[in-house]
C-alpha cells in the first residue's frame, strides 16, 4: 500500500557571485559553512534532500538545473548566501518543474558594524539579490516564495518548515489514489465532483469502486479475523450499553473487508455512499462502514461518507499536516453562549477526540438507510482549524479555512462527533460568512491553528485561499 506520508524530495542549491572568491579569500568558506548548516537543518525535516552544492556562475547554475530536473524534486530551495545574479538561478527555476522557495539567511541577527570589512559584509548580503530574483522570475512567469532571516532564526525556520510540509501535501496529492465507492447522495449538488478536475487541479488518481468490490472482500473474511477486529475495537473504543453485539460483529467484518479493499486498490483516501433498499446486502454494507472507516481515518487513510470526495481530500491534507482532520458539518448555533456547534455522524478521526471515543448503537441513521454502531466523542478543547475544498462556477477549486477554539458546553449524545467552536464573534454572522465563502456543507476539522501552513499549501497547489 502506498505510504500517504511519502517524503517529499527537496532540491537545495546555494550560491554566490564567483567574482568575490579571489577578492575575499575568507568569504567562500564562511558561506559554504552556512550552506552546510542549511542542508543539515532541511535534512532533519521529514524530507529527502537533493543537495547540488554551491554555484558561483551561470554555468554552475545550468549544471545544477539539470541535476535537479533529473532528480524530480517536489520543492526547490535556493539559498542566497550573498549577492548572486538572476542568471544563476533562472535555469533552476525554469527547468525543475517544481515550486521555488528562496531563502535569505544571514549569519547572525546583526553585523558588528564598527569592525566589519567588505568581505564580512558580503556574507550578510543575501537580501540584495532577492528583489532581483523576484523581478526576473516574475517576468519569466515563474512563481516563487521567500523567507528572510538569519541562520539560527527559529521564526524563519518555522516558515521554512511550513513550506516543506506544504510540499509534503502536494506530493501526497500528486501521487495519491483516492477511492470513490457507490453513488452520489441524492440531491446533494454541492457534493458532486468532476473526477477529471481532481486530477487536473490536485493531481493523483480517482479509483471508481463499486460496493460489490467491498462485498466480495467481506464475504472472504474469516471468523478469526472478525474476532481480532472486535478485540481491536474494544481496545480503541468505549462500548456503550446500547451496542448490539451482532451489529458490532458486522461492523468488524466490514472493517476487515475495508482494510483489504484499501490494500488491494492502494488507496490513500476513500469517499463512499450507497442508499440500499429493504435490508439487502449493499444497504447493510453501507450501514456497517462507520467502525472500519473511523479506524482507517485514524491510520491516516481518511474515509468520508456521503460520497464526499473533496472533503476526504481535505481530511487528507489536514492529516498530512499532523492536525487530524475529521468529517464535519454544521449542527446548530448557540446564540446564548456564542458558539457554533458542529460535527457529524459516521466516520471520525480518533486523534482529535478529547478522551477515549465511544461506540454507540443506533437503531436508525438519520437521513440514511440501515442501522448499527456509530462513533461518538467530544473534540479536544483548544485551537482548531476548518478546511473545505470549494469550487466556483468555472470549476476551479479553492481552499477555504477558518480558525476557532473548541470550548466547553453541553453536547448531544446521539452517536456523533460534536464540538462547540467559538470564533470570537456572533455565531450567526460567522455562519453567514462561512456559507458565503463557497464551502460545501462538509469540511475537515483538525487540531491547532493552521492558516499559515494552509497558505503555503494553497500556494504550492496554485489554488486560491479564503480565510473566514
Q: How confident is the model over 162-200, as pLDDT tens digits?
A: 999 999 999 999 999 999 999 988 888 888 889 999 999
453 pLDDT more than 70: yes
Choice among 218-227, 286-295, 340-349, 446-455 with the minimum mean pLDDT:
340-349
Kind and range of the H or E run holding 385:
strand 382-391
Choice among 4-8, 169-173, 285-289 with the minimum mean pLDDT:
4-8
356 or 269: which carries more pLDDT confidence?
A: 269
d(CA 51, CA 67): 10
**Tens digits of per-residue pLDDT, 394-449?**
999 999 999 999 999 988 777 678 889 999 999 999 999 999 999 998 999 999 99
Using CA atoms, how far residue 212 sits from 40, 219, 257, 258, 378, in Å, is 50, 10, 11, 12, 34
pLDDT for residue 415: 67
2: confidence class by pLDDT, cuts 50, 70, 90 = very low
pLDDT for residue 360: 86
* Domains of the chain and CATH, by start: 9-174 (3.40.50.10940), 176-467 (3.20.14)
pLDDT for residue 367: 55
Give one DSSP letter per residue of 290-355, joined into a string: HHHHHHHHHTT--EESTT-HHHHHHHHHHHHTTSEEEEEEEEEEETTTTEEEEEEES---GGGBSS
State CA 257 to chain mean position distance.
26
Using CA atoms, how far residue 222 sits from 210, 219, 226, in Å, is 22, 8, 6
pTM: 0.92
Residue 54: what are its φ and ψ, rounded to 5°?
-105, 130
Residues 341 and 257: beta-carbon distance below 8 Å: no
| Cα separation of the two ends of the chain | 37
pLDDT for residue 255: 96
457 pLDDT more than 50: yes
pLDDT for residue 262: 97
pLDDT for residue 46: 86
**Tens digits of per-residue pLDDT, 41-51?**
999 998 999 99
Map grid coordinates 558588528 to a residue. Answer: 112
Residues 185 and 307: beta-carbon distance below 8 Å: yes
4: confidence class by pLDDT, cuts 50, 70, 90 = very low
State CA 111 to chain mean position distance.
39
d(CA 450, CA 186): 33
pLDDT for residue 368: 56
pLDDT for residue 366: 55
Average pLDDT score, the chain = 92
Most confident of 65-69, 276-280, 284-288: 65-69
For range 445-457, the mean pLDDT: 96
d(CA 166, CA 59): 31
Residues 239 and 359: beta-carbon distance below 8 Å: yes
Give Cβ neighbours of residue 368 (< 8 Å, ≥ 6 apart).
275, 286, 287
d(CA 187, CA 307): 12
Map grid coordinates 446500547 to a residue. Answer: 242
pLDDT for residue 1: 37
Residues 85 and 58: beta-carbon distance below 8 Å: yes
Map grid coordinates 450499553 to a residue. Answer: 241
Using CA atoms, how far residue 147 sits from 152, 263, 281, 351, 467, in Å, is 13, 40, 56, 32, 22
Burial of residue 239 (CB within 10 Å: 0-12, 13-18, 19+) is middle
Give the rounded percent of residues in the chain with a pLDDT score beyond 90: 78
191 or 253: which carries more pLDDT confidence?
A: 253
**Tens digits of per-residue pLDDT, 334-377?**
999 999 999 887 677 888 888 888 888 876 665 555 567 888 88
b (16+ CB within 10 A) / e for 185-221? beeeeebebeeeebbebbebebbebebebbeebbeeb
SS3 221: coil
Amino acid at each position: 500500500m502506498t505510504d500517504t506520508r511519502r517524503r517529499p524530495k527537496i532540491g537545495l542549491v546555494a550560491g554566490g557571485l564567483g567574482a568575490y572568491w579571489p577578492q575575499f579569500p575568507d568569504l567562500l568558506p564562511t558561506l559554504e559553512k552556512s550552506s552546510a548548516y542549511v542542508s543539515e537543518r532541511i535534512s532533519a525535516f521529514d524530507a529527502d534532500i537533493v543537495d547540488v552544492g554551491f554555484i558561483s556562475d551561470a554555468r554552475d547554475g545550468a549544471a545544477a538545473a539539470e541535476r535537479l530536473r533529473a532528480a524530480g524534486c517536489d520543492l526547490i530551495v535556493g539559498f542566497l548566501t550573498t549577492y548572486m545574479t538572476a542568471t544563476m538561478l533562472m535555469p533552476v527555476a525554469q527547468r525543475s518543474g517544481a515550486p521555488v522557495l528562496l531563502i535569505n539567511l544571514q549569519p547572525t541577527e546583526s553585523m558588528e558594524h564598527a569592525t566589519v570589512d567588505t568581505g564580512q559584509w558580503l556574507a550578510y548580503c543575501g537580501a540584495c539579490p532577492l528583489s532581483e530574483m523576484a523581478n526576473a522570475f516574475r517576468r519569466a512567469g515563474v512563481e516563487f516564495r521567500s523567507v528572510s532571516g538569519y541562520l539560527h532564526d527559529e521564526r524563519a525556520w518555522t516558515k521554512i518548515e511550513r513550506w516543506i510540509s506544504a510540499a509534503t501535501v502536494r506530493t501526497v496529492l500528486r501521487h495519491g489514489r483516492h477511492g470513490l465507492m457507490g453513488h452520489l447522495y441524492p440531491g446533494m449538488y454541492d457534493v458532486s465532483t468532476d473526477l477529471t478536475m481532481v486530477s487536473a487541479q490536485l493531481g493523483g488518481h480517482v479509483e471508481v469502486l463499486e460496493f460489490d468490490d467491498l462485498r466480495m472482500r467481506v464475504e472472504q473474511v474469516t471468523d478469526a479475523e472478525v474476532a481480532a477486529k472486535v478485540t481491536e475495537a474494544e481496545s480503541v473504543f468505549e462500548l456503550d450499553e446500547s451496542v448490539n453485539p451482532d451489529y458490532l460483529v458486522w461492523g468488524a467484518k466490514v472493517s476487515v473487508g475495508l482494510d483489504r479493499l484499501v490494500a488491494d486498490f492502494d488507496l490513500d483516501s476513500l469517499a463512499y455512499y450507497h442508499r440500499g433498499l429493504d435490508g439487502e446486502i449493499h444497504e447493510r454494507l453501507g450501514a456497517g462502514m462507520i467502525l472500519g472507516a473511523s479506524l482507517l481515518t485514524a491510520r491516516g487513510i481518511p474515509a468520508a461518507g456521503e460520497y464526499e470526495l473533496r472533503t476526504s481530500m481535505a481530511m487528507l491534507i489536514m492529516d498530512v499536516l499532523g492536525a487530524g482532520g475529521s468529517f464535519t458539518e454544521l449542527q446548530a448555533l448557540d446564540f446564548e453562549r456564542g458558539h457554533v456547534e458542529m460535527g457529524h455522524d459516521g466516520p471520525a478521526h480518533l486523534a482529535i477526540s478529547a478522551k477515549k471515543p465511544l461506540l454507540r448503537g443506533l437503531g436508525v441513521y438519520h437521513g440514511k438507510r440501515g442501522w448499527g454502531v456509530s462513533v461518538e466523542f467530544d473534540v479536544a478543547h483548544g485551537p482548531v482549524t476548518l478546511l473545505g475544498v470549494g469550487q466556483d462556477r468555472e470549476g476551479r477549486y479553492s481552499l477555504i479555512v477558518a480558525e476557532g477554539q473548541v470550548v466547553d458546553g453541553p453536547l448531544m449524545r446521539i452517536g456523533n462527533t460534536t464540538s462547540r467552536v467559538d470564533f470570537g464573534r456572533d455565531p450567526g454572522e460567522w455562519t453567514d460568512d462561512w456559507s458565503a465563502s463557497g464551502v460545501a456543507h462538509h469540511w475537515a476539522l483538525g487540531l491547532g491553528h493552521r492558516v499559515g501552513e494552509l497558505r503555503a499549501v494553497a500556494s504550492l497547489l496554485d489554488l486560491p485561499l479564503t480565510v473566514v
